[in-house]
Structure 1
Amino acid sequence: MASPEDPGHDEWPTRSRELFLTDLWSLLIDEDARVDGHPSWIESWFRGTPSDGVPDHPTAAALHRLLASGADVDDLTDVVRTMQYEIVYNVCQLLDDPALLGIRTGRDPEQAEPGWELIAVRTAPPPDRRPLKELHSSLAEHDPSGRGGEPRGRPVPALLPGRPPHVRLAVAQARAGDRLAAIRTWRGATGATPAEAKAAIDSLMAQAQD
């Protein structure tokens, strides 16, 4: 029997499949990465745009309008990441079997039509080529967040007229009993130290109770 160190061992197709699915997840936006308190994927669209100007690119301009209307940046991140996941999942289904998407389900078996397969290629000896199957059914378990493709479950921001989104969300998280999440939200938006964030949230909570 071949050992795991043996180049002929049959684990390499499984490893190739895991690497492919991991790489797919790396293409989705990083929900935790921030630049100057904003999600890095949003900041990247605004690079080169004057702080008092409107971006030229239609997508960047749309983001500018959404933020100007008061949209929560973390809600935008959740929506975009979920849509990206749906697309990647559907691509995996397309590679596994187009019929999973309802595509060409009534095709004539005698009619030659193109198909798709993802092939893992090993160039090291002994060379080998293997089709990788069941991609869609394993995609969720490779989610680096550990949520299996599900969006973040966050409380609805508190109704605090005139307060910025990070304040309303942090207060909602604190009211729900998740002080650590509230502190992370505050720090991510303001760059405050943990002690400063905690003090600010405690002050707001005290005011809300008065």
Structure 2
Amino acid sequence: MSTPMLDRSPAALLHELLLRGLWSTVIDEAAPEALRRQGGAVARLLAAGVDPHDLVDVIREAQVDTIYNVAQLIDWPDEHLAPDAAPEVRLTASLVHAAGVAQPLPELHSCLMERDPSGRAGEPRSPELRQYGMLEADVRQQIGALIGERKFPAAAVLWKRHAGGDLKAALAAVQQLAAQAWQGAC
């Protein structure tokens, strides 16, 4: 019995594994408490009172830039060489046990951002999405359901109750989340 991933060509399999591997190295925005396990500068920033959610956002943005640059380097390892300095170098894949023929790897960087698990194509969280992520899971589910039903006033009242602020700001936040959900970000 074979798995769907193993039924792919060697290049497609390697491409998929690299994309998954790159995104697996990016911090989980929903788990800022994981920062507490870090030492060094992260521990000092947290001890100094830096908001863990701000720190998660900074770390994620740096990591997304890094994995994009790594993907680009994998795609074009010879990009920084002078044109006549070396022969063209490309990453290929083959299955050793199947005596497969080496196949060029499809570009990683060109589809990396569309594979962002957050659905935001590598873009940072908006303030509304960040605040939404800080709410309790059941409250997020209720607000999300109300937004999905386009019951913005009810969602705004619930937002205000749990996130604070005035009703006008709560309604604006809910409408912003609705716009982001329309774009696949929520």
Is the TM-score greater than 0.5?
A: yes
SS at match of 2:136: helix
- Indicate the residue corresponding to 1:13 in structure 2: 11
SS at match of 1:122: coil
What one-letter code is carried by the residue in structure 2 that aligns with 1:121?
A: S
- Indicate the residue corresponding to 2:124 in structure 1: 151
Q: Higher strand fraction: Structure 1 or Structure 2?
A: 1
What is the root-mean-square deviation of aligned Cα atoms in Å? 3.7
- Indicate the residue corresponding to 2:50 in structure 1: 71
Matched, 1:39 2:33: yes
What one-letter code is carried by the residue in structure 2 that aligns with 1:17?
A: H
- Indicate the residue corresponding to 2:134 in structure 1: 185
Contact 2:77-2:90 at 8 Å conserved across structures: no
Residues of 2 paired with 1:203 and 1:138: CA distance?
37
Q: Higher helix fraction: Structure 1 or Structure 2?
A: 2
Residues of 2 paired with 1:114 and 1:76: CA distance?
42
Contact 1:67-1:73 at 8 Å conserved across structures: yes
What one-letter code is carried by the residue in structure 1 that aligns with 2:110?
A: S
- Indicate the residue corresponding to 1:202 in structure 2: 161
SS at match of 2:29: coil
SS at match of 2:94: strand
- Indicate the residue corresponding to 2:175 in structure 1: none
Instruction: Name the TM-score, length of structure 2 as normaliser.
Output: 0.60
For structure 2, the residue ranges without an aligned partner over 5 or more in a row are 140-156, 168-186
Structure with higher Rg: it is 1
Aligned-pair identity in percent equals: 34
